[in-house]
Amino acid sequence: MPDISYRLDRAVAVISFANPPVNGLSHAVRAGISAALARAQADPSVRTIVLTGAVGLFSAGADIREFGTPASNADPTLRQLIDLVETSAKPVVAAIAGTCLGGGLELALAAHYRVASADAKLGLPEVNLGLLPGAGGTQRLPRLVGMERAIDMIVNGEPVPATGLANTALLDLVVNSDPLARAVELAASAEVATKPPPRTRDIPLNEPNLAALGEAARARLKAGRPVLPAPMRAVDAIEAAAGPFDEGLAIERRAFLELMDTPESKGLRHAFFAERTAAKVDGITASTPVRPLDQASVIGAGTMGAGIAVALLDAGIPLWLTEAGEAALDRGVARVVGIYDGQVKKGKLTASERDRRLALLRPTLSYETIGQADVVIEAVFESMEVKRQVFIALDQVMKPGAILATNTSTLDVNTIAGFTRRPSDVLGLHFFSPANVMRLLEVVRGRATAPEVLATALRLGKALRKVAVVSGVCDGFIGNRMLEASSRQAWYLIEEGAAPQEIDRAMESFGMVMGPFRVGDLVGHDVSLAIRQRRRAERPGYLCSSLPDKLCQLGRLGQKTGGGWYDYPEGPRRSTPSAVVEELVTTHRAEIGVAPRQIDDSEIVDRLVYALVNEGARILEEGIAARASDIDVVYLTGYGFPRARGGPMFYADQVGLDQVLLRVREFAHNPHGDPAFWTPAPLLKRLAESSAPRWN
């Protein structure tokens, strides 16, 4: 419940607002601050006012719990509150600690003076939601920090440390002590109390290089991919700050309202809320007990195991890194050290911090050594027999209550749990490569996984700064099960006439971070080959192209072998079309009797994306994913799906499920490939033909 406190300190009215967890500017907070300001104005003993947030931070902006509700636009609106602050007859000093973002910073910009703690972070991140600051930020910030810095802060949306703004008019004082105490001192000083309040809106903006700065910003945005509307509109609004203030405000407001209705903003806002919703897991509450996470172990020191180890070390968790042989262990330790050395070289980490983290690493060849770990994460080769051996051994040595996790990307977690006498302690923790970088963590709940084990895994995900999404057990879980469907269509598209680079180009133009064939070369093709071989053995009638198998038979396993779908003559960052692959594809088409045809980008995109959507609908109906938005989070954080499109399921909603179903049925008439592939998922069919065609 929001709380507004009001107290007098000499002739200073100190107004503090609290609205956990981030002091969101809800309607109740806005109304409370407005009433407190009116009280201070009416009290003749009050000469100045200090405005601050409670619990160690100023405000992260609007209260997301009110998004889309009448309360978000109820009087006083944020713009009205800001106007009250700026037009106050008595000087207002903002005391800024911790976080000061979005509407919180716009409120502070309207104060007449600002005092910040050195570790405070200030920013206007609205572009991350497909918007621009809508309460005067584009007009006031340039007047305080200059046009160039304002463009950078607003267009990039990244918070800036207070120390980086100390030499601007935005901050009057940056202090290493309590900013509230110093703000009260400043407010009580004759320098402030005896002078008319200086209004930010009245600061003249003389920027002779305005046109050049704007054009340079637009050029940088156009060079990026994709070009989103919000940053461009933000540059327009910032340029308007050179004119009359109220005209600039009107331009900003109009752009804000128009951006609210763009598909990009809708997608970005959906992504924002979907990540927060994913943390709500059936059967897990705040009172669900959790187990300790003081020590960990990683089994397997390959690329994935080393990345998981770094993620744990980054979180300050001591761990044992275990391998079967001395040489493999040495290579694993070298991988971990190499990751940290690279971060030091790039200036992302100090040498002393690298050494502190590496001091938590304990390499070992003995399973007996790791028995006291609270959680052990297996990251060995994707083979059920190999994992059986590992989990039988872990069951013998791990202490009671230890969590046994498998990093399998496709195998049955229930079967793996059955290798132990403690299946309730077993679950999947599917990291994505590189594990220390990628944000997604698929938490796979087995049939017997205990609630406290699941709750502890979610807590671990948070400690590792991952976005954890809970999945049920199936072949591939959420992400890789859908990827398998899309990959099969990508291979069929090559058979039918498209080149790998044409498919990648179409998907990257759609907004994917990388096309499917570039991704395959990056990850490596040997693991996917083993998965296909397993599926053919386990599923009679399983159909998929043999083309990727033939690629592997040539020894082209991706970047690690110098070639996959592409050649890499200048190293992994530079891919070029391969004459070897072109010949392979031509021969393969002749062998299967397919004459190549022209395939346009729209067919490529629709087949690959709707393959995801159709399989996602099956996953949703089977209960493997709790919500369609959870599927979106998986693809946004683990598979490079364009965030501005909101994820595959949200994208399908925006297109219209009836239109998606129509296209799926069209593809079913394609004579090539698997005849049953494009059978519409029952849920997709049912919803598309209903009166309310949307996911849950």
| CB within 8 Å of 483: residues ≥ 6 apart | 476, 612, 639
Structure tokens belonging to residue 415: 């079967």
Half-sphere exposure (Cβ direction) of 679: Cα atoms closer than 13 Å: 6
**What backbone torsions phi and psi does residue 160 show, to the nearest 5 degrees?**
-120, 135
**What backbone torsions phi and psi does residue 376 show, to the nearest 5 degrees?**
-125, 130
Query: How far from 47 is each of 10, 134, 139, 173, 580, CA to CA, in Å?
Result: 9, 31, 28, 20, 80
Q: For residue 434, what is the DSSP state?
A: S
Catalytic residue among 66, 86, 106, 621: 106
Please give the full DSSP string across 436-465, using - where no structure is assigned: TT--EEEEE--SS--HHHHHHHHHHHHHTT
Q: Find the length of the chain.
A: 696
Structure tokens belonging to residue 459: 């807590």
Q: How far out from the chain centre does Cα 337 lie?
A: 26
- Which three-class secondary structure state does DSSP give residue 95? strand
Q: Rounded distance, CA 121 to CA 129, Å?
A: 19
- Which three-class secondary structure state does DSSP give residue 618? helix
Q: Which amino acid is at 261?
A: D
| Residues 654 and 263 sit within 8 Å (Cβ to Cβ) | yes
Half-sphere exposure (Cβ direction) of 212: Cα atoms closer than 13 Å: 3
The dihedral through the CA atoms of 89, 93, 94, 95 has a sign that is negative
Q: Rounded distance, CA 271 to CA 630, Å?
A: 10
The dihedral through the CA atoms of 141, 142, 146, 150 has a sign that is positive
Tell me, yes or no, if 106 is annotated catalytic: yes
Q: How many CB atoms lie within 10 A of CB 469?
A: 32
- Which three-class secondary structure state does DSSP give residue 121? strand
Q: Are strands 12-18 and 3-9 parallel, antiparallel or unpaired?
A: antiparallel
Tell me, yes or no, if 442 is annotated catalytic: no
Q: How many CB atoms lie within 10 A of CB 593?
A: 6
Helices (H) and strands (E) in the chain, counts: 28, 19
Closest to 309 in 3D by CA, of 355, 346, 348, 340: 340
- Which three-class secondary structure state does DSSP give residue 389? helix
Catalytic residue among 66, 86, 126, 591: 126
Closest to 528 in 3D by CA, of 565, 502, 569, 566: 565
Residue showing tokens 């910032």: 238
Q: Are strands 160-161 and 121-123 parallel, antiparallel or unpaired?
A: antiparallel
Closest to 119 in 3D by CA, of 159, 157, 166, 163: 163
Q: Rounded distance, CA 490 to CA 513, Å?
A: 16
Q: Rounded distance, CA 554 to CA 658, Å?
A: 43
Give me the active site residues, please.
106, 126
